[in-house]
Chains A and B, each alone.
Chain A
Amino acid sequence: MTRISMSVDGANYTDEVEPRTLLVHYLRERLGKIGTVVGCDTSNCGACTVHLDGTSVKSCTVLAVQADGHDVTTIEGLAQGEQLHPMQQAFHDNHALQCGYCTPGMIMQSIDLLQHNPHPTEEEVREGLEGNLCRCTGYQNIVKAVLSVAEGATS
């Protein structure tokens, strides 16, 4: 067992974990951060995307021990009370989700995308989301939601 400490959604945690524990399993099973989900086992689907020190990563492809001493933000850490993050609001406004399973990862990656490129073209949005799979929406409204935040058009 290895002792790790990290900040998750603004709270500090210290735990003993097996080194093989994936960050996503630590988040879900130890911290109860079940908003972040697992969709595959080959790092393709992106459903588990969180921010590690402000940058998007696939939490199924990070060991919990690798996040020791770092800062993690999950889908559950975005809203300020009742106030949704603009990207969450945009997903709602643009009907950018159906079953919602890919949505946490999709929102986390979309936020990262705009951090690197605040004014992307549609093509850049699509390419920036290439590591996140959605089976319901055909992506059209997801792309629209991200562009709406980039344009500051979300009410």
Chain B
Amino acid sequence: MTVTEDRPTTEVGAPRRRKEDRRLITGRTRWTDNITLPGMLHLAMVRSPSAHATIRSVDTSAAKQSPGVVAVFTGADLADEQGASLPCAWPITPDQKAPPHPAMAVTSVNFAGEIVACVVARSAVEAKDAVELVDVEYDDLDVVLDLAKAAADEQVVYPDLGTNVSATWVFDSAEEGTGTDVDAAIGGAEIVIERTYRQQRLIPAFMEPRSVVVDPTGEQTTLWSATQIPHILRLMLALTCGISESKLRVVAPDVGGGFGGKLQVTPEEVITLVVGRRLGKPCKYTETRSESLMAAHHGRDQLQRLTLSATKNGTVTGLKVDLLADMGAYLGLVTPGVPILGAFMYNSIYKFPAYRFTCTNVFTNKVWTDAYRGAGRPEATYAIERLMDELAVEVGVDPMEIRERNWIKHEEFPFTTVCGLEYDSGNYEAATAKAKELFGYDDLRVEQQRRRTANDPVQLGIGISTFTEMCGLAPSRVLGSLSYGAGGWEHASVRMLPSGKVEVVTGSSPHGQGHETAWSQIVADRLGVPFDDIEVLHGDTAVSHKGMDSYGSRSLTVGGMAVVAASDKVIEKARVIAAHLLEASADDLEFGDGKFSVRGTDASMGIGEIALAVFAAHNLPDGVEPSLDSDATYDPTNFSFPHGTHLCAAEVDTETGEVSIRSYVCVDDIGKVINPLIVEGQVHGGLAQGIAQALWEEAVYDESGTLVTGSFVDYLVPSAADVPAFTTDRTETPATSNVLGVKGVGEAGTIASTPAVVNAVVDAVRHFGVNDIQMPCSPLRVWTAIQRASAGDSTPRDVSTTDDNAIPSHNAQLGDGDTEGDTEGGQA
């Protein structure tokens, strides 16, 4: 058997078209909502319209009489089975305060959209019909919405806790011994810049609404879910509901995007599981988009108070970060830790001697926040990259120059930062030089000046973001030191089939990232088998029994390394058998191109031949098990630190405040690349999301705590007509912390692009006297900033954490449908 035909020299680095595409482009998909089982029942949720209330009564009698309804459950009905609280795996301080978070509210509701009852019916439509018949009486309580006021405990969400503050977490470089005292640095500084920035609340808005199917028949209850984390979900469901973990199988079939939004143990999953087991029937729940926007966790929502000190030539001497982070009403799976993930990134690529980070986590009556693409790192990167632009203005130099004066030079790696992280590799100069050339930086500066001089109604701004991030979550010991509830390892198995084909089982759980393709490329090179002979299996705890799943740009740097380790174990197991079969010493064998060769002879044997021989097991060395299969669990030794230089040219129509991106160039250094097509795709998608934070997206609540941006009419996810074409390129400085040399790319675009865009917008109107515009930089905000500055109003404006215009754009349409007679239909 020959297994090395038609194989490119190396798969790694080749722009392989994806294996997983075919079923997706022909509609042969396995989304959770596609699953239909015999006798399956359908759930619909009754959700609270009130953002804060005690539940006086729930009358389900009319709903129970509705056609097709099998059962109606309230929180009281399910209280025993659903457990006391959904899990939070990241208590950031020993004294962290957390209210219990029952999957279905029992006594009170704390955000609008919280589940208070569920209807189970023979069809989804019958379940929906009956939802309207459940009569819930609420006693409304005062609603706590404003982050700053909540932090001051003007009113509290949970009287039992006595405060809205969940925890305060501090990192101080002087105390940690990683740097000097920040107050001393600020006290004696030549330049001190103070700013408050708002990280608005965002909604992950994955395209596939969440769905869960439970089959309680059989010895193991099987739960399919549109989740990023089947393994974590299995453990957490077992612990939460008091079910033996071994009695649960969790499957993440095709999953339509996550972006952190499906990194959660959701009320809907628990309720569907509990109801399915109670009734003994398969059950399905699929959310609507309205439910998803309202009740799936949100992201960001921070208020950043920043103080940066520097010398008069622009050398940064210290940075103090005082953060308020809106938890929403509950602590989700990693809610409290999201801002902490940013704590180590405020110093970014720069050499600060002194740093202090204080984060206060605060409860409000909004849906809880949790991971959203970047999780903590976009917020940190935004703050420092905005501040570097402000510092450049103070010093009077080009913003690129100010960065060059402060960044770590390539010959200084490895470099230990003021946060104590060791950056293993990087070359900021190279990425920046390439980006500037692609962008035409100098020419654009000339044009900008020309337009300013001519008082052109359309002004040009140039925005820079030289970012880094910490990827590859994470060394388990580091997670332990941060009180995270689990390790950061990843698992993989490689199974050699008798026919020479290979199954790779990964603990990573892809939902669009292309692991089937990339892992096949890695294994093809490692084992010397054809790309097409490799099948990558994932997302089913019965197949992939062990894993930490996909988030935090960890899949390749951690999961990919587990695949490497498992592949290498196969080779070592095969080596012993090959030596036996080739009648040679194992030390004389060389492995390459998928075969063992005896040094100095032409005797060789392919790994597929060995697999067949192992299957037969007729002639194996004594004491050797008849198996080449291997498992490996890889725990990273360090984070990885991708970086890049992103440049944005934005045009601002000063008459309307409209921003349009004229060009966007990024040069990312993510180390070695397994598949450049996939890498580019990840960058493109990340850019669109980061740009959307800068310009369009914001979850807005009205004064009663109702989500105003409750549909895609008002939550502005951009379309192809809104985002620009991107110019992407790379430099390649391999990571030294893993043998693949890879760093991770899933979040880079999102992290880097937001400050690049806002810096460009502010730069375009800086000469009017504008030095900040709150995100999203809507036409109203941009125009207002210009008007105020032009009128000489330089008083700092309070950064708003509430929206004065919190009215949906189609409040009338969404009113009583008050159309006289002839609603013939026009628009969406």
Contacts and interface: CB of A to CB of B under 8 A. Distances in A.
Interface of A: 18, 20, 28, 33-45, 47, 61, 74-76, 78-79, 84, 88, 91-93, 95, 97-104, 107, 122, 125-127, 129-143
Contacts of A138: 681, 683-689, 723, 726, 749
B782 interface: no
Interface in B765-824: none
A101 B255 CA distance: 8
Given A35-B28, A39-B289, A138-B685, A95 B677 contact: yes
B366 interface: no
Contact of B719 (A79, A103, A130): A130
Contacts of A100: 20-21, 24-25, 29, 254, 256, 512
A133 B687 CA distance: 15
Which of A40, A98, A104, A107 neighbours the largest number of chain B CB atoms within 10 Å of its CB? Answer: A98
A42 B256 contact: no
B720 A139 contact: yes
Given A40-B712, A100-B512, A135 B207 contact: yes
A139 B828 CA distance: 22
Contacts of B34: 28, 34
A137 B289 contact: no
B646 to A, nearest CB: 13
Contact of B712 (A28, A45, A91): A45
A100 B47 CA distance: 30
A137 B17 contact: no
6 contacts: A45-B289, A76-B27, A98-B681, A135-B205, A135-B257, A136-B512
Contacts of B21: 91-92, 97, 100
Given A92-B17, A100-B29, A101-B208, A127 B721 contact: yes
B279 interface: no
A44 B254 contact: no
Contact of B208 (A20, A35, A37): A37
B513 A40 contact: no
A58 to B, nearest CB: 8
B26 A78 contact: yes
Contact of B681 (A37, A42, A137): A137
A140 B27 contact: no
A99 B721 contact: no
A33 B687 CA distance: 33
B712 A42 contact: yes
B680 interface: yes
A104 B27 contact: yes
Contacts of A122: 725
Contacts of B712: 40, 42, 44-45, 133
A65 B711 CA distance: 26
Interface string B258-297: 0100000000000000000000000000001110000000
B207 A74 contact: no
B441 interface: no
A38 B209 CA distance: 8
B339 to A, nearest CB: 24
Contacts of B76: none
Given A44-B712, A95-B681, A126-B720, A135 B259 contact: yes
Contacts of A20: 125
A79 B256 contact: no
Contact of B24 (A103, A127, A130): A103
Interface in B21-43: 21-22, 24-29, 31, 33-34
A139 B719 CA distance: 8
A99 B205 CA distance: 13
A100 B517 CA distance: 15
Contacts of A44: 711-713, 828
Nearest to B714: A42
Given A99-B511, A142-B720, 18 more contacts: A34-B31, A39-B289, A41-B290, A44-B711, A44-B712, A44-B713, A45-B289, A92-B18, A92-B22, A99-B255, A100-B20, A129-B719, A132-B720, A135-B689, A138-B684, A138-B688, A139-B723, A141-B680
Contacts of A92: 17-18, 21-22, 25
B206 interface: yes
B411 to A, nearest CB: 35
Contacts of B512: 98-100, 136
Contact of A139 (B25, B511, B688, B713): B688
A34 B513 CA distance: 22
Nearest to A36: B27
A130 B827 CA distance: 13
Nearest to A105: B207
Which of B17, B208, B254, B687 neighbours the largest number of chain A CB atoms within 10 Å of its CB? Answer: B208
Contacts of A99: 206-208, 254-257, 511-512
A73 to B, nearest CB: 11
B224 to A, nearest CB: 14
B514 interface: yes
B26 A35 contact: yes
Contacts of B22: 92
Interface string B661-687: 000000000000000011011111111
B479 interface: no
Nearest to B513: A98
B678 A95 contact: yes
Contacts of B726: 138, 140
Interface string B55-98: 00000000000000000000000000000000000000000000
A133 B513 contact: no
Interface string B730-754: 0000000000000000000100000
Given A42-B712, A95-B18, A125-B720, A88 B511 contact: no
Nearest to B710: A42
Contacts of A102: 207
Nearest to A132: B719
Contact of A136 (B17, B26, B257, B680): B257
A97 B711 contact: no
A134 B208 CA distance: 10
Contacts of B18: 92, 95
Given A35-B27, A42-B828, A98 B514 contact: yes
A75 B687 CA distance: 28
Closest 6 CB pairs of A and B: A35-B27, A99-B512, A101-B256, A100-B24, A138-B684, A138-B688
Contact of A40 (B33, B289, B687): B289
Given A98-B681, A99-B512, A133 B719 contact: yes
